[in-house]
Chains A and B, each alone.
Chain A
């Protein structure tokens, strides 16, 4: 153990001091004309990555709330844990897109910052579903704004990034609209079930979310 530490420490010391290039291959440059994303469009996509990450953390907080002993809604918790991982996947998809277009050679560290979620308490499952719907609507709006920016970047000769615009429209907006419809449907069903039997309604809906038939 100690030996490993020593090796690592020594190697690091050697690398970072006298022989700065001993440990790596010299960087090369190849022509960059193929890298064509405009600066404004790039910035918009980077911001969207951060928004997806923030959504993933917000859904974690929702899942944590419904996991509590005093709330006890494992079905809602499951739904929101899954939503959280989906948001993380969205961030990843955007990152992979940027990489394909020759981006993320610099300023990678600043791409994502983790902040504690804004909300941490919901009065009911209904309230959480409605907040989720509101959040997704904001994300949809943000994606539309990325599309607007990338379709005509006024700071860069009205550059139109056809492929990214198509990708965002076809993949991301499609998933947003489907996701919003799904949450809206759940919120409506739950609200109807809560009409006269609120405690029982939420209990049964929660078990349905768990995939249980009762």
Chain B
């Protein structure tokens, strides 16, 4: 008996949830006013927004891309000043900046696609509140290392949101977000990270081999190489 009542209640709840926009329309159109309040006629479905977490994370992810994109832009600028003068490194950072900028726009579009409102103040609880020492005026290996760390941060944040959106959390389960992250972000991250890690390995060898005597010519040639591939 108890079970039947419970099942019935659930059924009612489910059907109510499915018709909320229609109910809004039915109720509101019958009134004789010149306004329509249709709060349920929106693009929000599933758990996006209800729990807030995935929705907020996605906005924070957009904001993170925005900040990182301008940081990479500054790195690219720094590497193009007449003293540092490494056009290959500059090109590499410029590409990271452009990619991150495109993803910022892409994420904002997706937030609104799912019925969210983009909040430019959103931060993920995953982020440290104050970032320490984020100077971009670094020498070659340091700036590659910093880029590698940032790309991993972006990749691991995607994993985190994906995890929220998938099996581990029934309350935030959202397969659309999971597949979106896989297709638009996760695939590319692996390559970017592998490439940057490879660059640091190359630089490491230039630094350590032959007592470091090859370094200045090596860096010059490596920069020429970056100009070709980036």
Contact = CB atoms under 8 A, between A and B. Distances in A.
A62 B200 CA distance: 40
B141 A24 contact: yes
B115 A15 contact: no
A22 B73 contact: no
A11 B196 CA distance: 14
Interface residues on B, range: 35 or more
Contact of B204 (A11, A104, A106): A11
A147 interface: no
Nearest to B83: A105
B112 A64 contact: yes
Interface string B161-191: 0000000000000000000000000000000
Nearest to A9: B145
A114 interface: yes
A95 B109 CA distance: 28
Contact of A25 (B73, B81, B216): B216
A27 B138 CA distance: 12
B217 to A, nearest CB: 10
A31 to B, nearest CB: 11
Interface of A: 4, 7-8, 11-12, 15-16, 22-25, 27-28, 53, 57, 60-61, 63-64, 67-70, 81, 84-85, 88, 91-92, 95-96, 99, 102-106, 108-109, 111-112, 114, 116-117, 120
Given A63-B108, A99-B82, 11 more contacts: A8-B197, A11-B145, A11-B204, A11-B207, A12-B141, A15-B142, A25-B219, A67-B108, A69-B115, A85-B101, A95-B77
Interface of B: 42-44, 66-67, 70, 73-74, 77-78, 80-84, 101, 104-105, 108-109, 111-113, 115, 117-118, 120-121, 134-137, 139-142, 145, 148, 197, 200-201, 203-204, 207, 212, 215-216, 219
